[in-house]
């Protein structure tokens, strides 16, 4: 069975600085999708970024980028120029190629200090 | 972008009663809808997956008779918590997706259920 591990329960960063959130996963599949979701205090889940496993190029979305290491089964999220609005829970998620189900990690709470 | 709504956003019910939560995809047709439960400061736990017109598939350990899911159309799924008990108090989140491909799940804003 696939698993997703987020080893950092909490992280903090100074405004305008860069922070990296870690995520590792375990799977025997070769094709799959990886996601980072943000859950602010409102608890609305928001997709931050998506990576298809067959793509070697790391996904980027404005200030958010990932470091996808398929062989190491690692999928970290880098937030550049952190803003106060980035403070939230961040969940890493895995989805197999032939399924719609998401497997979530335990989450990392990010605090942003002015 | 794709929008999913949930109603109500917060509900309080008495122990022993039933409560229904609606999940609607507002601007797309969702072939699959998912129901999650989230305890404070924890991750999302998938309860069940439903496809329009067919029975829901429940995750191991989720009581089918307690958590009734109906996916009557491509835009509406409902979760009914039957004979609610205080331990059913939680935050319930639905999501919707179009099956296949790299399509993401679009999440509703969640429903806070408090059973007194």
Q: What is the pLDDT of residues A9-65, one digit of tens each?
A: 999 999 999 999 999 999 999 999 999 999 999 999 999 999 999 998 999 999 999
Token pair of A4, please?
A: 């997703």
Q: Average pLDDT by consecutive 10-residue portion of chain B (116 residues)? A: 92 97 92 93 93 89 94 92 96 86 83 97
* Surface-to-core class of residue B14, CB atoms within 10 Å of its CB (0-12 exposed, 13-18 middle, 19+ buried): exposed
**Residue B99 pLDDT:** 63
A50 touching chain B per CB within 8 A: yes
Give the integer Cα–Cα distance in Å for A68 and A75: 5
Residue A47 to chain B, least CA–CA distance (Å): 8
Per CB-CB distance under 8 Å, the chain A contacts of B104 are 35, 47, 50
Residue A104 to chain B, least CA–CA distance (Å): 7
């Amino acid at each position: 069975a696939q698993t997703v591990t987020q080893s950092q329960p909490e992280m903090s960063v100074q405004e305008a600085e860069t922070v990296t959130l870690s995520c590792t996963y375990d799977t025997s599949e070769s094709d799959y999708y990886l996601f980072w979701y943000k859950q602010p205090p409102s608890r609305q889940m928001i997709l931050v970024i998506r990576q298809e496993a067959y793509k070697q190029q790391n996904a980027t979305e404005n200030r958010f980028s990932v470091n996808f290491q398929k062989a190491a089964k690692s999928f970290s999220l880098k937030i550049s120029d952190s803003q106060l609005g980035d403070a939230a829970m961040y969940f890493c998620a895995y989805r197999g190629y032939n399924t719609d189900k998401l497997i979530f990690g335990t989450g990392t709470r990010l605090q942003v200090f002015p | 972008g794709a929008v999913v709504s949930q109603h109500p956003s917060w509900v309080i019910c008495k122990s022993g009663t039933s409560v229904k939560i609606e999940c609607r995809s507002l601007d797309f047709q969702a072939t699959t809808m998912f129901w999650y439960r989230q305890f404070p400061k924890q991750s999302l736990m998938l309860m069940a997956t439903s496809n329009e017109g067919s029975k829901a598939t429940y995750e191991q350990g989720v009581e089918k008779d307690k958590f009734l899911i109906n996916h009557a159309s491509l835009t509406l799924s409902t979760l009914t918590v039957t004979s609610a008990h205080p331990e059913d108090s939680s935050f319930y989140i639905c999501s919707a997706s179009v099956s296949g491909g790299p399509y993401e799940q679009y999440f509703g804003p969640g429903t806070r259920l408090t059973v007194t």
